[in-house]
């Protein structure tokens, strides 16, 4: 880039993009870019590839792609509505939002629901609040920038889910109706909250009970691995059927709890002992904490935060 090629002048974002790539994990870069068949392709070409397997495009797997208000101007929305061909519409949309990576669902033998079937299915779907109710960052980021969701809509919804128990959307709809929140607003709010990782779709109780034995064994294995590395920062929840972000030290605190250490100070002592045996120190904001006291203070703060905020949620998600 120091030679200032014409391509870089025509595409001024290229320099920032390359700068960001330099800071990414080398394993990711090797997988994403340095392979034999890497090249950009439009979604229509992917559709041609998958046609032989009788797979058809269903929709974007990225929740926030379904919120037009934060991604497209009113004129752009109107323009896209006039395009009847689904794949061509998606291609045009990619140019409008400068899409770099797509995350899509492809289905075989898909059946389109009627509006009534769609609403009934949506109301029966269960969701669980997977983050602390207080002090949530609800800012929504789209192609048009950041938007702060309306508290008058989101506060009652989060209040209805604040016990962290799986609830059907239809039940939440009944609870927030007195606040003047309709189904369309509720649906959009749930999409945004799921996109932010605050809400997750939840299984039925019998499915949760059946999956618990498997997730317990998997999580025990991953938590044990956290003693020596931070390669996996997720644990499995039988409630959601997916992964929940749990950083390395939080996993190590869970390991200490499994050994009958109940107090944050005990988790810190056990974790520091493991780190010291490997000659490891804590990184904070990209800098290594050199002194034992600094390491102790930082880990103590993390343990208290974990105890106050993340641990209660992990219990409701059947992880802890």
Q: Does residue 13 form part of some domain?
A: yes
* Interval 117-136: pLDDT, tens: 999 999 999 999 998 877 78
The rounded distance, in Å, linking the Cα atoms of 8 and 4 is 6
Is the pTM above the cut of 0.75? yes
Q: What are the residues whose beta carbons fall under 8 Å from the beta carbon of 308, sequence distance 6 or more?
A: none
Residue 249 sits in which domain range? 205-316
Q: Do 167 and 197 fall into the same domain?
A: yes
Q: Do 41 and 98 fall into the same domain?
A: yes
Which residue among 202, 220, 238 closes a domain? 202
Write the burial class of residue 86 (CB in 10 Å: 0-12 exposed, 13-18 middle, 19+ buried): middle
Q: Do 198 and 212 fall into the same domain?
A: no
* Interval 51-92: pLDDT, tens: 999 999 999 999 999 999 999 999 999 999 999 999 999 999
Q: Do 220 and 307 fall into the same domain?
A: yes
Q: Do 154 and 129 fall into the same domain?
A: yes
Total domains, the chain:
3
Q: Does residue 136 form part of some domain?
A: yes
* Interval 176-199: pLDDT, tens: 999 999 999 999 999 999 999 999
Low-confidence ranges of the chain (pLDDT < 70): 1
Q: Do 222 and 261 fall into the same domain?
A: yes
Q: Does residue 1 form part of some domain?
A: no
The whole-number pLDDT of residue 1 equals: 63
Kindly state the tokens that stand for 188: 């959009």
Strand 104-107 and strand 287-288: the pairing is unpaired
Q: Do 81 and 166 fall into the same domain?
A: no
Contact 67, 146 (CB under 8 A): no
The rounded distance, in Å, linking the Cα atoms of 41 and 39 is 6
Helical spans, DSSP H, in 226-282? 248-258, 264-277
Instruction: Please give the backbone phi and psi of residue 70, each rounded to the nearest 5 degrees, phi first.
Output: -100, 0
Give the DSSP per-residue string, 169-228: HHHHHHHHGGGT--HHHHHHHHHHHHHTTSEEEE--HHHHHHHHHHHHHHHHHHHHHTTT
The whole-number pLDDT of residue 12 equals: 84
The CATH number of residue 121's host domain is 3.90.930
Which residue among 107, 132, 150 closes a domain? 107
Which residue among 202, 220, 250 closes a domain? 202
Q: Do 173 and 220 fall into the same domain?
A: no
The whole-number pLDDT of residue 9 equals: 82
Q: Do 11 and 89 fall into the same domain?
A: yes
Q: Does residue 300 form part of some domain?
A: yes
Q: What are the residues whose beta carbons fall under 8 Å from the beta carbon of 102, sequence distance 6 or more?
A: 43, 46, 60, 94
Q: Do 178 and 93 fall into the same domain?
A: no
The rounded distance, in Å, linking the Cα atoms of 289 and 296 is 10
Contact 112, 56 (CB under 8 A): no
Contact 146, 139 (CB under 8 A): yes
The whole-number pLDDT of residue 134 equals: 74
């Amino acid at each position: 880039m120091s030679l200032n090629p014409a391509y870089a002048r025509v595409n001024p974002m290229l320099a920032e993009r390359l700068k960001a790539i330099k800071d990414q994990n080398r394993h990711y870069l090797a997988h994403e870019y340095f392979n034999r068949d890497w090249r950009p392709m439009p979604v229509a070409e992917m559709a041609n590839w998958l046609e032989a397997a009788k797979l058809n495009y269903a929709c974007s797997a990225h929740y926030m792609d379904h919120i037009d208000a934060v991604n497209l101007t009113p004129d752009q929305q109107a323009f896209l509505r006039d395009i009847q061909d689904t794949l061509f519409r998606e291609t045009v949309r990619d140019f409008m939002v400068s899409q770099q990576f797509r995350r899509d669902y492809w289905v075989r033998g898909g059946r389109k629901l009627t509006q009534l079937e769609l609403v009934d299915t949506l109301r029966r779907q269960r969701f669980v609040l997977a983050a602390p109710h207080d002090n949530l960052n609800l800012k929504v980021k789209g192609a048009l920038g950041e938007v702060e969701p309306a508290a008058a809509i989101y506060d009652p919804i989060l209040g209805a889910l604040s016990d962290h128990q799986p609830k059907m959307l239809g039940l939440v709809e009944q609870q927030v109706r007195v606040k003047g929140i309709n189904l369309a607003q509720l649906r959009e709010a749930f999409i945004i909250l799921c996109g932010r990782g605050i809400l997750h779709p939840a299984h039925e109780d019998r499915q949760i009970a059946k999956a618990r034995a498997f997730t317990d064994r998997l999580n025990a294995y991953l938590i044990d691995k956290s003693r020596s590395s931070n390669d996996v920062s997720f644990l499995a929840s039988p409630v959601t059927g997916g992964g929940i972000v749990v950083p390395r030290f939080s996993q190590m605190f869970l390991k200490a709890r499994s050994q009958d250490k109940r107090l944050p100070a005990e988790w810190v002592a056990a974790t520091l002992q493991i780190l010291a045996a490997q000659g490891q120190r804590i990184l904070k904001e990209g800098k290594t904490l050199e002194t034992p006291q600094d390491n102790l203070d930082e880990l103590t703060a993390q343990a208290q935060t974990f105890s106050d905020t993340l641990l209660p949620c992990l219990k409701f998600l059947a992880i802890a």
